[in-house]
Amino acid sequence: MKISDIFSFAFGAIRLRKLRAGLTTLGVVIGIAAIVALLSITQGLQTTISDQLQSGFATDTLIVSTQRGFGMSPGAIVAAESDFELLVNYTQIIDEIEDVDMSVAVIRKLGYIKSGEREFMLAIVGVDFAKYADVYSRTFVAEDGDISLSPENETVVVGKRVSDPWENGTAFTNVDNIVEITWTNASTLPPKNETYSGQVAAVLKEIGGFGFGGPSDTNIYIPITRAQSFFGTDECDTIIVQLENDDSATIESVSEAIEEAFGGQVNVISSTAVLDTVSTIFSTVELFLTGIAAISLLVAGIGIMNIMIVSLMERTREIGILKALGMKNRTVLSIFLSEAVIVGLMGAAVGVASGWVLANVVARVFTGGGFMSAGNQAAINAGMTITPVLTPTVILGAFAFGLLISVIFALYPAWRASRLRPVDALRYE
């Protein structure tokens, strides 16, 4: 029997039981759609994040933090609370280490900025403007105004989103504006609000991304000395280390030297390590999600098997007729497998399409605006855009998997159909 005839016969059988075939297909559609949606979202997210990390992160920098600080390395989890404090002037120790170009201390506290009637919550970052601009020469750049390298005490540099939080040109604050900067000191009882007035000297050009480690669109920057007096501390959160080069040998030796210099009480993270960690996390998440989606396909497969066994019983007589007419076992097998192939292909096609639609809908929902408003106060958050990515591999994989599941689960019923003896099948009532 010709393959085209086998397929058209199988197709006729499917068409006869539209509802049932539709429901069987739906199982495959849901499984494939889930896989495609999850994969394209995670891949999109991964692309977004690594792009943003790369743009906010120079490869020839290290970030030194206390073990209480942001822990990306395994050591951070085990470390107990220690009294060790990372001080602003430790940059001098680090600067002595070979292959270190320079280092810059960063103090970061959550606070408020008020301009006119409006107030935003954001991160207040204290840095040495000259050194910071040197390390992040691509991102710590003024769009408006000037970043003074020896700033006045009251100088403030604001991120693009702080100046223009609605992304429509309506400025919250601009160069030369006076802003009120507030920080709640929770270490005193009762907590006390500290406030001072600063003058916006520059607005950074748009960076995009999280500004992980480096500058961010949603931060404001004040001179390190001002931060020390304002926050009443010499302790900093991180020290950014600029290396002479980004060889992995340099990264390793400097990291070790810094850890040693502080008796193992600090974490040293290289940007490449962070990128690696992030991509490892993503692969794991991707694998996990795909696994879950795959289980739904497995369920769909069992549905296919179930329905095929039922339809096998209904069609026993038909199989008897076909065999009496001289159809070979393998042709009967092919007919039943073709039905599974048709269901699998249709399910995969509809599944890929609806998975893609789903991914885009989800991405749209989760890509919040740059800014969340709550009454008069509002928190600025980094606008993160997820663009789902649908690679040919995913499409092909989805088709292959849909087909594979359908065929595998149809194998047993089809085999049973093919083995029916003609007399028995014809006698079947």
Q: Which residues bind other proteins (CB under 8 A)?
A: 1-2, 5, 9, 12-13, 16, 317-318, 320-329, 331, 421-423, 426
Residue 88 DSSP symbol:
G
Shortest Cβ distance from residue 343 to other proteins (Å)?
18
> Considering beta carbons, is residue 301 or 320 the nearer one to other proteins?
320
Least Cα distance to 159 among 134, 141, 177 occurs for: 141
Judging by beta carbons within 10 Å of its beta carbon (0-12, 13-18, 19+), is residue 301 exposed, middle or buried? buried
Helix (H, G, I), strand (E, B) or coil at 418: helix
CB of 396 to other proteins, least distance (A): 32
Residue 314 is inside which H or E element, if any? helix 271-314
Q: How far is the CB of 423 from other proteins (least distance, A)?
A: 4
Q: Is 240 helix (H, G, I), strand (E, B) or coil?
A: strand
Cα distances from 319 to residues 3, 143, 331, 395, 424, in angstroms, run 18, 78, 11, 36, 10
Judged by beta carbon, residue 147 or residue 319, the one nearer other proteins is 319
Task: Choose between 35 and 327: whose C-beta lies nearer to other proteins.
Answer: 327
Q: How far apart are CA 39 and CA 394, in angstroms?
A: 8
The answer to whether the CB of 41 falls within 8 A of the CB of 386 is yes
226 or 315: whose CB is closer to other proteins?
Answer: 315
Q: Residue 1 or residue 102: which is nearer to other proteins going by CB?
A: 1
Considering the complex, what minimum distance in angstroms separates the CB of residue 22 from other proteins?
Answer: 17
Query: Which of 75, 422 has the CB closer to other proteins?
Result: 422
Task: Give least dist CB 18 to other proteins, A.
Answer: 12
Smallest separation (angstroms) from other proteins to the CB of 329: 6
Best CA proximity match to 128, nearest among 235, 226, 269, 237: 226
How far is 212 from 87, CA to CA, in rounded Å? 21
